[in-house]
Structure 1
């Protein structure tokens, strides 16, 4: 009886309840795409010419971050403190987080504050690491460790060492 019930559930749901969403599906589900995405490849080519803001929590940033990234946080993001240190509202700014959801929120706040050249890193630091691009620890040494945020979101990190604490 249980087997028949499970088979019925699978047929009715079309097996969709068990499929993992891919990155683009997740981003389209959670993001409005009000901020233009920048690919990992394009950021890598321009990395020394843009301001990079990390919109993750401090525990995540301390494990690893992109080279020269400035921590701005998410839960405790302070728009006034951030804008007071970013005087040029036209300088290219790339905001990133784990996959690109929290970073869109922070980038939207900056856009609303008058910044005109803001981008969201598509796939965030997870996609960056998945493309074998370097991340750095607090000592500015290259590391393979990435804070994976949670088991739910960590499934989008396919390379490196997942850290959850």
Structure 2
């Protein structure tokens, strides 16, 4: 092992940018892993969402604008804007704290933030839909235009 140490030091000196980039990627991966492990929410795929809706009576919260929601949404979903969640204006879902809650946006990116906020507000089983409504639609899963 001692014979390799000078070679490693020499490599690091000659390729310092590559070594710095490697350490940056390494720590970014560790940070992401720890952050997801400590998160109170989980990102789920379409099949997991369907299972939660059918088997555990999950509530679907659609974060998109009213116009987007009216063009098509998951059946029985509720349209709540992210600002309402941020401002604790969640009266219409307050009584669902013990049920699974699936947060949906257009692409799956902004749902994670609102899901974390709901978890902090006392919801016990909060999920965000991976790829959002776009992924749901791409998988040819049904959307409805009726509002509950």
Q: TM-score, normalised by structure 1?
A: 0.58
Secondary structure class of the residue paired with 1:87 = helix
Q: Which residue, 109, 114, 128 being the options, matches 2:117?
A: 109
1 CA distance for matches of 2:97 and 2:87?
Answer: 13
**Map of 1:62 onto structure 2:** 70
**Map of 2:49 onto structure 1:** 43
Give the CA RMSD over aligned residues: 2.4
* Kept after mapping to 2: 8 A contact 1:40/1:121: yes
Distance 1:138 1:84, change over 3 A: closer
* Kept after mapping to 2: 8 A contact 1:57/1:74: no
CA shift, 1:76, in A, is 5.0
**Map of 1:161 onto structure 2:** none
1 CA distance for matches of 2:92 and 2:72?
Answer: 25
**Map of 1:132 onto structure 2:** 140
Which has the larger helix fraction? 2
Q: Give unpaired runs (5+ residues) of structure 2.
A: 1-34
Secondary structure class of the residue paired with 2:98 = coil
TM alignment of 1:1-165, pairs within 5 A: 33=36, 34=39, 35-48=41-54, 49-77=57-85, 79-83=87-91, 85-138=93-146
